[in-house]
Chains A and B, each alone.
Chain A
Amino acid sequence: MRNFFTIFCKELRGFFLSPFGWVVLTLVTIMQGWSMSGAMKALQDAPIPESLVYIVFHMPQFWFYFLVIFPLITMRLFSEEERVGTLETLLTAPVQTWQLVFGKYFATLGFYVILWIPAFIQFQLFSILTDVPAPFSSGSLFGAFLLIFLMGSLFIAIGCLASSLTSSQIIAGVVTTGLLFIHYFLGYLTVIYSDRFAAAPVIRYIASNEHLRYFSKGLIDSRAIVYYLTAAAFFLFLTHHVINRRRWRS
């Protein structure tokens, strides 16, 4: 457990000791601000039945910057260690592979949570600055951020796996982006073809855009929670095995 914590701290600090972490944080904050101001403008222009939270997370730019966060924050995790050779010093220290995988995973998840603090503050500022009661319920805010967290936990696990498979950051990033876009567009199949095909229920079950629609209305679906967490666990399990494959006898 101490080893896990040591690695967790080192990785989390790593995000803030390199300019890279700050660049990501800045970019994401700007994009969040852009979504926010766009949403406020939309509310101003025409009466919309949805809440501010709903509109912010349904701006056209949302998915694009959202999905780009993950390759950026996960691509280095294992591929860089492998390329530089520090994986050798890590795996020959008395550290268990799961401590390494979990340490890196949770540190990245921690950084990801920090990335959403600016957006959270923006929502809080709304009522403070405008003197108007916030045009959203606390339930919808909670739901939206819960889903953001759940998607993050799965997508970071996917990024971990991609990073463990190669010693090239670029390839890891491209693979992660590819997988996430496939996942995202799968969710749209039911929108495009409606429900007229056999796999439709499965697609509905994993469709992030659908989840976002009702989570940001404050409707929390426990099936989605189960889906994200088990899928994240599955990808971490795969990552563990990929890292550990060098320990298998061949």
Chain B
Amino acid sequence: MIKVENLTKRFGRHTAVANATFEVGKGEVVGFLGPNGAGKTTTIRMLTGFLPPSSGAASVDGFDVFRKSIDARRRIGYLPESVPLYRDMRVREYLKFRGQIKGLQGERLRMRMEEVVERCGLQGVRRKMIKTLSKGFRQRVGLADALIHDPPLLVLDEPTNGLDPNQIRSIRNLIKQLGENHTILLSTHILSEVEMICDKIIIIDGGRIMASDTPSNLVNQMRAAGKITVELKADPEKVRAALSQLAHIKKVTNEKSSEGWEHFSVLVQSGTDARERISSLCQENRWPLRSLYRHDSTLEDVFVELTRKD
């Protein structure tokens, strides 16, 4: 559905997106992740034809977004990051205008409006002025606009940004439903959201694509850097020295101590588990051991690992 090849965007000397290459298949729901300023919005803007790429190419459903822009745009429902709307229009009027501009008319326009109003839960505010709506409802109006021409591809830039937990939940459920018969590219900062609704994840940082895989694959690869937490009672210096002596240990840090219990976090090498060795070490030294816990790596770990700057 989306095909991006070596897409690059430079703003003056600053490169916002560098040689991005990825694909999104038909029917996939893809999470597009990255820290602030990573280039998500810029990539999305190039895909939707708002910004021209500096080099490289992208196509939607086989239509080049630059050369066959109008055809590509017909197939995209786009919700921009800031959800721009005409404040002085009523919801109905706005959706009608957007439907017309996207080529709908007559009976079909009326039906589509009915449907998106229903789908996005806008029945109660149809006649309201957009400027009087709360943020949650504005987001829904934006989503309704993206859906109105029934596009096969939805591009949503932080659709749940700034909403309360209930709203986030209902928008997320809506996206989940839409995912059943749409291709969706979803940019977001909420990782749990991605875990819940996405089949695939693309992580971008500093304009470069860092990873593109299913969530479970990414997490499994990350098991790589497993982390173990140890709580025991002993002289921290001795413990650190002893732990560092063990095989496959990458790093030992004494995080804090409370009431005589020392908390250590131990990073181990990929594919190894040092818990047994740590427990026998404690027994040998007669250190009281209170907890020994191995963290499963989460999507958050993956994200931090791939995008941190230190």
Contact = CB atoms under 8 A, between A and B. Distances in A.
B26 interface: no
Given A3-B101, A85-B80, A250-B10, A92 B48 contact: yes
A243 B10 CA distance: 19
A3 B45 CA distance: 22
Interface in A205-250: 246-250
Nearest to B155: A92
Contacts of B102: 93-94
B226 to A, nearest CB: 44
A121 interface: no
A89 interface: yes
Interface in B77-114: 78, 80, 82, 84-88, 97-98, 100-103, 105
Contacts of B145: 89
B101 A93 contact: yes
A247 B101 contact: no
A41 interface: no
Interface centre among B48, B50, B74, B85 (most CB of A within 10 A): B50
Contact of A85 (B66, B70, B84, B97): B84
B88 A94 contact: no
Interface stretch (A10-18, A65-73, A132-140): A10-18
A92 B50 CA distance: 6
B54 interface: yes
Given A92-B76, A247-B52, A250-B10, A86 B85 contact: yes
Interface string A92-130: 111110000000000000000000000000000000000
Given A92-B78, A94-B74, A249-B54, A7 B101 contact: yes
Contacts of A7: 101
B124 to A, nearest CB: 22
Interface in A1-35: 2-3, 6-7, 10, 14, 17-18
Contacts of A248: 52
Contacts of A94: 70-71, 73-74, 101-103
A88 interface: yes
Contacts, number: 72
Contact of A92 (B49, B85, B97): B49
Given A89-B78, A94-B102, A250-B54, A84 B70 contact: no
A89 to B, nearest CB: 6
Name the prevailing secondary structure of the B interface residues. Answer: loop
Interface in B55-78: 55, 66, 69-71, 73-74, 76, 78
A161 B10 CA distance: 26
Contacts of B304: none
Contacts of B76: 92
Given A3-B101, A6-B101, A93-B98, A88 B52 contact: no
A95 B102 CA distance: 8
B215 interface: no
Contacts of B97: 6, 10
Nearest to B145: A89
Interface string A56-98: 0000000000000000000000000000111111111111100
B63 to A, nearest CB: 11
B31 to A, nearest CB: 21
Given A6-B100, A89-B78, A95-B101, A246 B84 contact: no
20 contacts: A2-B103, A3-B101, A3-B103, A6-B100, A7-B101, A14-B88, A84-B87, A85-B82, A86-B84, A88-B45, A88-B80, A88-B84, A89-B78, A92-B48, A92-B78, A93-B102, A246-B50, A249-B66, A250-B10, A250-B54
What 8 pairs across the A-B complex have the smallest Cβ distances? A85-B84, A92-B48, A6-B100, A86-B84, A94-B73, A94-B74, A94-B70, A249-B52
Interface of A: 2-3, 6-7, 10, 14, 17-18, 84-96, 246-250
Interface of B: 10, 45, 48-55, 66, 69-71, 73-74, 76, 78, 80, 82, 84-88, 97-98, 100-103, 105, 145
